[in-house]
Every structure is written in structure tokens, then in C-alpha cells.
Amino acid sequence: MAGTGRFPALLLLGVLAGASPALCEDVTLEGLRDSYEEASNALRLRGRDISAKRVGTISRAVGHASLKARERRLACLRVSNEAEGKRLAVAMDGGRVIIRTNKRGRKTAKGYHTYAADWREPKLFIIYELDAEGRKMRKGLERCDGTIGGPEDITRLLVAELRAMGAQNAKSITFLGDGAKWIWNRIDQIIEEVGIDRARVSTCLDYYHAVEHLARVAEAKTFASQIEKRAWLDNMKKLLKKAPPAVFLAELAKSRRRGNAVIRREYAYFKTNMSAIDYARLSREKQPIGSGAIESAVRRIVNLRIKGAGTFWKLENAEAALHLRCQLKTNNWSMFYADLLNGLAA
């Protein structure tokens, strides 16, 4: 299209922002690992003299193309049998990122818009394969994605990923979480939309989050000494991990006192999540009882790059960077980038 600077034929060849597919990949990978300035320096050491501004332009072009490809994939989902017969774990969690939004009105004397900077919660999911001992399998099936959108947006992405891998044919699926309502309240919806047999599904409240709630009870409860307090907490942790939930709750109920709102609230928390704290059964079945995989993903994907000190993002750029880093940090980049190029050529 003459005069517009748009060249559809080059796009079909994978050329984005005037860069070849190989250069786009090289530059984007560096831009995802560190700041654009650091990426520029790293590329310069390898003989590629590319400015930080150019690194950002190319990285954003790849990111925006990947988001369009994700929407096309969601609209026309290809289903495989990758998950057939496998034991899977599924977890969701959120992080924090500062989103920059330009304010309305004139630019400043220096030509800049004033802006608002607000914290938003990027939401991630991870799906991974379990080994015979209930641990994350090395080089096993793993998928991860995220969005700055709301709970329904991340649920939509998760349902699509589970359907695409044929999760309804998995041997078992364990949903892990910290008890956040935006996660827990959507598990039934996910199971139904994917078409998973509920007999194959377990839910697990992260054990270490549960222990934190127990510690709050210990702080609110009256003890004769610190030794007595420690002994009570150790015994309750043992019951939580080894005994049936009903036995644990019966013992915890003895701590309730009229007027002690903290203990009553924490008791209600455990009672509400009773079906997800059967750690004895989960351990016998070699299922995971911790959500460390998703917490690690949030740290590696969000905290170490997107939530950098003093780093502000436009919403669409944060969404793109989040999607790209999810692929990079779960060792799915090669497959992801090949699919992206194939989609551009289609």
C-alpha cells in the first residue's frame, strides 16, 4: 500500500518492524531478558549495533503480533492428545505491575503527556506434568500464559489451553491455589467447559498458605508460654498434614472463643476449604500439596523483568511482554516462535 509504510508481502515472510524473522527473534529474546538498554549493549557485544529504542520497537512488534496470533488460535482451536494418560497439575496466581496511562489534555512544554501510574495484577496459569512421586516432571508437558485482564480473561486462556492439549483425557488433574476466590470460584467452571470427569479431579489448598493461617490462630490464642504455643502449633500442623480434615477441624474448633474474631474467621477459612485440605489423601496418591510452581513462575516471569523498579508499562505492551515471557520461561519458545511465523505466513 503506497504511502502507508505497510507491506503485507513482507509480513507474510515474517518481517516485523522492518526486521527479518531471525533478527526479530534475536532482538526480542534479549529485550525480554533485560531492559532494552541492557539488551542493546548485549547485542552490540555480539556485533549487532542496535539502539535501545530500536530494540523496544522490534520487541513490541513481535509481542503485538503474538497477541493477535493468540486471539486467532483461541478462535480456531486445534486439539491434540498431548495430555492423554498423563497426571497434570494446574495452578493460577497473580503478581503486580505498574501500568502507565496518559492523562487527557495538552502535552507539557517539553512535549510529554502527564500520566497516571497504577498497580495492576497480571494473572498467570501454569499446567505441568507430574512424575510418579507427584513432583514436576523435568522436560514434561508444561504450558504457561498470562494476562493483565480480569479473572474471566485468564480463565478463558486456561480453558483453551486445557482443551487444546486434550486434558479431558488426562489420568488425573490437581488444581492448586492459595484460596483466592477469583481462582477457587472458577474451578467448577473450568472443569465443565473443558469436559473433565470430576472423578479425576482433586483440589489442593497450598499447604504452606494453610500453615500461615494456622499461625494466625496461634497468635490470636492465649498460651501460658511460648513453649506451649510452639507445641500447639506443631501438633496442629501435624494434624493438618496427616489426619483427615474432619479430625483437624474438630481439634481447631476447640480454640474458638466468643469475641475472638480472628480465630473464628480462620476456622471458617479452613471449614470453607475442607475438601481442599485433605493432605493425607493427596500425599498417599502422590499428588502435590504446594503451589510453588506458579509462585516461581510469577517471580521469574513478572518480578524479574515486568515488575522492575521504576518500570512503567503501557497496558498493551505489558500484555505482550507477559505473553512472550511465559513462553520463554517455560522452555516453549522455539515451538511458540515457529507457530507465530507459520501464522504470519498463512
Q: What is the pLDDT of residues 236-260, one digit of tens each?
A: 999 999 999 999 999 999 998 777 8
CA distance 13 to 182: 41
CA distance 100 to 93: 22
CA distance 205 to 228: 27
**Would the pLDDT of 3 be above 50?**
no
Q: What is the DSSP letter of 198?
A: G
Confidence of residue 1 (pLDDT cuts 50, 70, 90): very low
Residue range 142-191, pLDDT digits in tens: 999 999 999 999 999 999 999 999 999 999 999 999 988 999 999 999 99
Residue range 66-110, pLDDT digits in tens: 999 999 999 999 999 999 999 999 999 999 999 988 777 777 776
pLDDT at 258: 73
Q: What is the DSSP letter of 16?
A: B
**Sign of the four-CA dihedral 188, 193, 198, 200:** negative
Residue 174, judged by CB atoms within 10 A of its CB (0-12, 13-18, 19+), counts as buried
Q: Say how far residue 136 (Cα) sits from the centre of its chain.
A: 16
**Would the pLDDT of 129 be above 90?**
yes
pLDDT at 338: 96
**Would the pLDDT of 16 be above 90?**
yes
pLDDT at 2: 43
Residue 66, judged by CB atoms within 10 A of its CB (0-12, 13-18, 19+), counts as buried
Complete DSSP assignment for 268-298:
HHHHHTGGG--HHHHHHTT-----HHHHHHH
Q: Is 50 left (phi over 0), alpha (psi -120 to 50) or beta?
A: beta
The stretch 19-27 carries a mean pLDDT of: 96
